[in-house]
Structure 1
């Protein structure tokens, strides 16, 4: 085992806290107030940090201070470490209460693969506490890189791969996916065969937000046909909202990822329309931080179960 560096011996949590605060305020005076310290003590602490890292981290000006390139990089890392310390504190608290730890998952709303894996995880490790954050994939990846999540399950597009810090993560493709158009089983649409996309242009749609993978694939279909994409009657991200509004007759049609649509069809809530083509979507993937030291035992078990559930769902729905 390598001996600890001089930085490890000298750096304190309060130094990290100061850096995190200086990423949010522009004066040492404001930082001192936030830390409940005197301004001279805060200035001295900042000088200690700059000495540890071999040079200035901030540019001084009449309005206060601003991080230089080194400072900006260090502030980002300090914020991650502070969040990790908060996570450690929470996990130890959970362990003292008899829990096995905390697992923080980012996923698209209604992600069936992640849901099945979580259910299996809690059967095998019932004292693990799970937090699922749903949202757009790019925002979830930013939270993963920022230390707020342990993993993300979702479609990875070329846009996400252009993230300048994507190489800090490990990516594992889970299953291929495609887009499904869904309607009420009782609707006239559900009785039709080999429907063309052009036939649906005047229908009442519930569509996901424009920045979502599903919506972009939907728009591409119509643009390639030389047509204007249909307008939405309702815009919503949640598959539950899609099913509810179609069932209530508020809208005619909606979009779902194929795995989720097949599950809804199996339960009888929705019918998948027989389209002449089903555009492929970016494969569902798992993202986690690359360093094994940042992966907990609950996360490793969840990853294993996610691989199994993804294969099972794909085989059962094929």
Structure 2
């Protein structure tokens, strides 16, 4: 009986190994076919590993010392900062004059700032951006670095990761330009090393874009590219996994697998469609 069980176990393991081999061969076959189609279309750019490393070395290094998140403001400094942030809010409301309750009262300029602030506290929800309460405690940050966009219902991809970079205004402005350029030149919507290599090459044209930001910019379109792949229904081995990832809005595990996968995942049909589209507008955090 034991001998028979061992034989069954060995047979099962052999079958599993054979299935895995077949899946891998199918994946590689699909990748080779689509890579060839992509090359025939003349879209994208084949960049060798050595050239990629060269481009990577051209990017600026991350800050020699990370942002100090241990030193906090004292009580007096916090009070002064809170007063300043209140003034920001009041100035915003006076500038926009968007509140219905003041439409019949003329301009908000006639209202005392302290009174106005007390009245407008309940309208804080109208702000799309807010000063992160934890970041407001950190002495090393400037107000721009404390600003965080609201993420209603996980609306934005990479939200948790991006706002912790504490980028300055100059870096953010250049990142937006880089992402526009990235969208123009990576229209083919792929999720592969080939795409990452070209993203890094593009980043060399923006002196403030580090390797970390270049990598993030590439992966911010990851979900959209995956959706293109899924809708083509050309990869039966992965169809169910892609459907699940798209439904739960969490591509983190899939991204890790793609990074180690031999399959390039270059979808030529998506390429043809995306190549006819203009580059979409960019922002620091792309909506999902």
Name the TM-score, length of structure 1 as normaliser. Answer: 0.27
Name the TM-score, length of structure 2 as normaliser. Answer: 0.29
Structure possessing the higher relative contact order (Cα contacts under 8 Å, 6 or more residues apart): 2
More strand by share: 1
